[in-house]
Every structure is written in structure tokens, then in C-alpha cells.
Amino acid sequence: MAPDGSTKEILHQPFEFTADTNKTHGGIVDVPLTSDQSKSLEGMRAGIELQPQSGGTWTTILAEHQSGKFVNIWPFTARAVGGDSVTFELRAFQWGKALANEKLSLTAESTQGTPPSLVINGGSGSAVTDKDGRAVFSVKTPASLDIPADRQQLDSLCYLFNGPWTSLNGGMFSTTFNPPNRAILPAALVVWSPYPDAGMAHPTWEGQVQPVFDEYMRMYPGMQQIMDLTQRSVVQANLQALLDVFSLPFEAPHRMPVTRDLSTQKIEVIKTWLKNEIAKGKKGALAKKTHGLVAGTMVGKTGSHLFTIAGSKPVALDEIANQLRQQMTTKKLQLAEQDLGQQAGVKEGLVVIRGHEDPHTHPQSDLIIFVLSGGGYVQLLSGRIEAPEGSTVVIPKGVCHAYHNLSPSDSVLIATFSPTDSTHGVCSKS
């Protein structure tokens, strides 16, 4: 773009942006540049023009600031309980390079309720960028919130971030609610009210858990088609599955969508109740074993899975699976396994997969996978094999494969190797 805003050089020929662009490219269009074009842009503004209909007038809808400056913020969204502090970072650039010694300011205003704004960097709300163009802002959230009636169910306030630097970010259009210099609001922070029962060691269904679930079922009625959380019998029948999902990291794709709007304090109270109920069930099952049963008999819960090698005692697979789940304490750990037994030419193991395996082979053994619970698919170089709960998949030795879990919590598999060598091999690139 020329200094007066007119077009000086066309970097990319016109293209159509259609509904299919969103479907196939996520709304992203790549514009390849030559080395000469890239060099010329180091001191010249770039922009995008729109022609609403064929033959119409081309209008600039997005453009770099005349100064070449650009500032972005991270994270784009954040969540906190009232009283906590949250850190945001601004990064400043000029003509695509880090901009040092730039004084930036940040404000946070509530969309509803009070307090109307947040304390940032001790009240100054400003910071200077370092040599990498970074400026750090500490945002203190209020311990007491005045939440309007129409947000009471959300139990939170939403604060939107702004600053003079937002006018540098190409906002040459306006929206219904914002003038041009605020057309693109860069970040938001949800602040939940502190939960009075936070940290409770023995929460109850009636006092803590059901009120939260009732509230969210009203907000997300579609959840009832998946699992009616207002019914204690339904929740009791799915204690471990719910605990697994509530325990996933926030960014995990299988985390319950509802929990994304539920305060961390409430989530922890619900997890405590789920753990307590699971522990009660185990104690009850243990007590039953001592009444009227033949010594040495293996008793499992209704619907539990037992694994037996002829001549040996049955093994409760559900208990082993729960032990393996406890080993998966970080989001990086996607898989845990335990050997079940080995005979001449055959070895069995129990595998819990939360995310997916890395592609690999078994150079010395054929593999049979039985999906005990959960479900997903096996990815091969040639395509994928659906593997829902109850299905069996045979993978010949040397075939590159990886199991991908699609269930809300995790998949539990019985893996049988023949012969017994389960050594992993590297997949070829072909």
C-alpha cells in the first residue's frame, strides 16, 4: 500500500473466499511471496481488499498500521478464581521484527457487573518491551464479585482487554458494538466467584454436587442426550468415567465441554465426591467377599471383566485398568500397560490409552487387539480400521500401526502377541 492508502503493488491475484474455504482450509488462505516481495514489505504496509460482488468496488478491509507496528497478546483467553493473579504477555513488532523499548499499556473492563476494571501491574497498567519485544502484565482479580442476575448461573464475570495498541492491529472496520479502534478485541478473562465449599473433604450429593450439575444441565440441555447428570443413579453408574474426564487437562479434546465453564474449585469438589463414592464401592465389594463365599473365589463388581489363564486364579481387569490410569498423571503420558501372563508362544497384556500411540511396528510378532472398553480406531499407512468397544483387530508382524482413542475417557485393550516378543520397531517412511 502507498502512504495515501492506495494500492501500489498487487502481491497476490484475486481469489474467492467461500463457505468451502472455511470447510477445507479453516478460513485460512496462504499467500506465497517472492524474496523481493518480502524485502519490499520490510518498510511498506500490506493490506487486504474486498470486492463484495463481481464488478463492484474494491475496498480495503484490513491493513498494517502506517508505522508498521503490530502488537499481539497471549493468552487470548484465560480463566481464574477471584483473588488469583493471571499473567498476560504483549509482543510488539515493527515491520515484522521485534520492537524493543516500546511502552505499552493494558486495561481490562467488565462486560457486566463490578468491579468494572482489574488492577494491572500494581495499578500502573503499563510496561516496556524487552529486546525480544515482550512486555509482561500481572493482572490481579477481585476476591469479591458483584454478578448481575443474568450471569448468576455462570457464576462469573467476563473482562475484555484493550489498550491504545489495539489500533495498530489492522482494525479498519467496525462492528455493531465497537468503534474501529476496538473492532478486534484481543483477549478475555473469565473470573469465577470463590466457591464457599472449596477444599471440602466430604462433599455430599445434595449439598454440593447435584446443585452444580442441575445448574449446568439447564445451561447445556444437549448434555442430557449424552448423560443426565441430574440423576444420581446415572452418575453412580459412571463414577470412574466421570472422574477420568474431569481429571483431564483443560486443553484435552476429550474433556467434558461443560467443565470449560465450571470453576476449578467446583471441579475439585466434584472430583473429591467421585473419589469418595468409588472408595465406598470398593469397601462394599470387599465386605461382600467375606459373607458366604468359598475361600479363593474371585468376586468382581456387576459387569466387571475377569481374565483367567487355565490353572490360575482369575484377574480383575477393571482394577488393573484403574491402577494404570493412576500412573497417567500428566498430559504427556498417553498410555500405560501391564503384562497379564505368558504361555508357550503367546503373551497377553492390558493397555490403557488416553490419547494415541506413536506409530510403530512389532517386527517379531503378530498382534491381536481386543477393545474391552472405550473405542477408537487403528491407523495404518494404508488407512484406518474402526475399533469400537467389543471389536477385535489383527495386525500382522511388521505392519505400521497406532491406536487412537475416541472415547470420552480412555480405551482399555487386551493385547495378545504371538510369538511373545512385543518389541517395538520403527515404521518405514514408504
Dist. CA 321–CA 329, nearest whole Å: 14
Residues 329 and 378 in one domain: yes
Q: What is the pLDDT along the chain (430 residues), one digit of tens a residue?
A: 766 667 777 777 787 877 787 778 777 888 888 888 888 777 778 888 888 777 788 887 777 888 888 898 999 889 999 999 999 999 999 988 899 999 999 998 888 889 988 999 999 999 999 999 999 999 999 999 999 988 887 889 999 888 888 777 755 443 344 454 544 567 899 999 999 999 999 999 999 999 988 887 887 777 777 778 888 888 888 898 888 888 888 777 777 666 667 888 999 999 999 999 998 877 665 454 444 333 333 334 444 688 887 777 888 888 888 888 888 766 666 888 888 888 778 889 999 998 888 899 999 999 999 999 999 999 998 889 999 989 999 999 999 999 999 887 889 999 999 888 888 888 886 5
Dist. CA 299–CA 252, nearest whole Å: 35
424: nearest Cα among 400, 408, 406, 407: 400
Q: Is residue 106 part of a domain?
A: yes
Strands 375-380 and 401-405: antiparallel
Dist. CA 143–CA 152, nearest whole Å: 16
C-alpha cell at 195: 466457591
Of 163, 192, 221, the position where a domain reaches its end is: 192
Q: What is the CATH number of the domain that holds 122?
A: 2.60.40.10
In the chain, the number of structural domains is: 4
Residues 374 and 266 in one domain: no
Domain enclosing residue 243, as ranges: 205-278
Q: Is residue 181 part of a domain?
A: yes
Q: Is residue 291 part of a domain?
A: no
405: nearest Cα among 317, 325, 320: 325
Residues 73 and 58 in one domain: no
Residues 270 and 210 in one domain: yes
C-alpha cell at 304: 466387571
C-alpha cell at 92: 510488539
Q: Is residue 293 part of a domain?
A: no
Q: What is the pTM of this model?
A: 0.58
Dist. CA 353–CA 334, nearest whole Å: 6
Q: Is residue 32 part of a domain?
A: yes
